Amino acid sequence: MKHYFSLIGFLLGIFAAQTVFATQIADLYQADVDSTTSGNEWQRQALAQVLVRVSGKAGVTELPQVKAELAKAAGYVKQFENVRQAGGNRMRVLLDADKVNQLLQQQGVPVWGALRPDTLVWLVEQNGAERQFVRQSSHQLNVAMQQAFRQAALPLMLPLYDMDDLLNLAETDVWAGFWQPVVDASSRYAADIVIIGTIERQSVDGKEQLRLNWQRQDDGRTLRDEITAADEATLMQQFTRVLAAQLSERYASVLSGESGAQFVLQVQQLTDLADIVQVQRLLQQVVGVSQVTVSNYHAGVARFTMRSGISADGLLNALRFNKQLQPQPANDAIAANEPAQPTLATYRYLRP
């Protein structure tokens, strides 16, 4: 037993001695632009694209200081490469995450990290009195929606529309906004957000337009919106722009510019060193977190001390969609023999 505690102490000493800096998921700060764009325009487009993705706000590029930085976009580029695609050559551009975050922080614009909600979308197309689910993944509407969600860095889930789905949910339920059958049919997907939408083609001044009426539920409220556009791609771009703005308003956090705030999280059900290391890595990926150390481990429960440039609420919001960390009620918390600093929250680790 003495050797066991000596080993744990040795491992904790290693963890405490390291200064571990947060890492970002590369794709969040990666842009895809047309490689045939002349001059330095591709750099400006890449920075603008990433600023919108990371903030969730399309209007961020209109801020005066951001406009000035767009003219110096080359200083934000870390790597780039040409990629051949069927639709033409593209440029894949990786930007400096620290510089992008600093620019947003200086403007007081919240930063939205890589942990984002899985969004399930039930889509119905109405032609006259006939309504049908948009079932085929190759359908123009689904293709445009997948591309728009990908560009906005929003995780998208499409229903299977198999026998189970069709027995539990009808097109009329989606069209009319009957949420109980929607919730029942959606439960198998374990999505964080469920959206229902109806698309109707209409003629305006002799020109065809697409109209999307969509809604989602949020804390007991039903949020509704309507979008019109001339084509599928534009419709879905506008849809994701509005959705991203709504979600970032709730889940993004303003960085303080300093990493002085210190929080302690307690994580249960850690059976070995590999589990501890994995949880540490998960916490390191949270935007605004600059350091994560293990301060205590006992009987499968570890306390992680974190230095963060975001508030306590911002940190908890950022962890909300992590599938491997399940929040536990306060009265279920297990003491980890270190009362020096209060525990912000307790989680249970779920192995992937």
Digitized pLDDT (tens) for each residue of the chain, 352 residues in all: 444 434 444 444 444 333 333 333 448 999 999 888 877 899 999 999 999 999 999 999 999 999 999 999 999 999 999 888 777 789 899 999 999 999 999 999 999 988 889 999 999 999 988 999 999 999 999 999 999 999 999 999 999 999 999 999 999 999 999 999 999 999 999 999 999 999 999 887 888 899 999 999 998 899 999 999 999 999 999 999 999 999 999 989 888 765 568 999 999 999 999 999 999 999 988 888 889 999 999 999 999 999 988 888 888 988 988 889 999 987 655 554 555 678 899 999 998 8
Tell me what pLDDT residue 4 has: 41
Q: Cα 154–157–163 angle (5° rounding)?
A: 170
The Cα 122–Cα 112 span in angstroms is: 25
The candidate with the shortest Cα–Cα distance to 307, out of 265, 271, 245, is: 265
Rg (C-alpha) for the chain, rounded Å, is 23
Question: Which H or E element spans position 295?
Answer: strand 289-298
The dihedral formed by the CA atoms of 290, 77, 92 and 242, expressed in degrees to the nearest 10:
60
Tell me what pLDDT residue 257 has: 62
Alpha helix segments (H runs only) across the chain? 2-17, 41-55, 64-70, 97-106, 140-151, 163-168, 171-176, 179-186, 232-251, 273-284, 312-319
pTM for the predicted model, two decimal places: 0.82
The candidate with the shortest Cα–Cα distance to 308, out of 284, 276, 327, is: 284
Sign of the Cα torsion 289, 292, 298, 299 reads positive
Class of the 119-251 domain? alpha beta
The Cα 276–Cα 179 span in angstroms is: 40
Tell me what pLDDT residue 337 has: 54
Q: Where in the chain is the domain with CATH 3.40.50?
A: 119-251
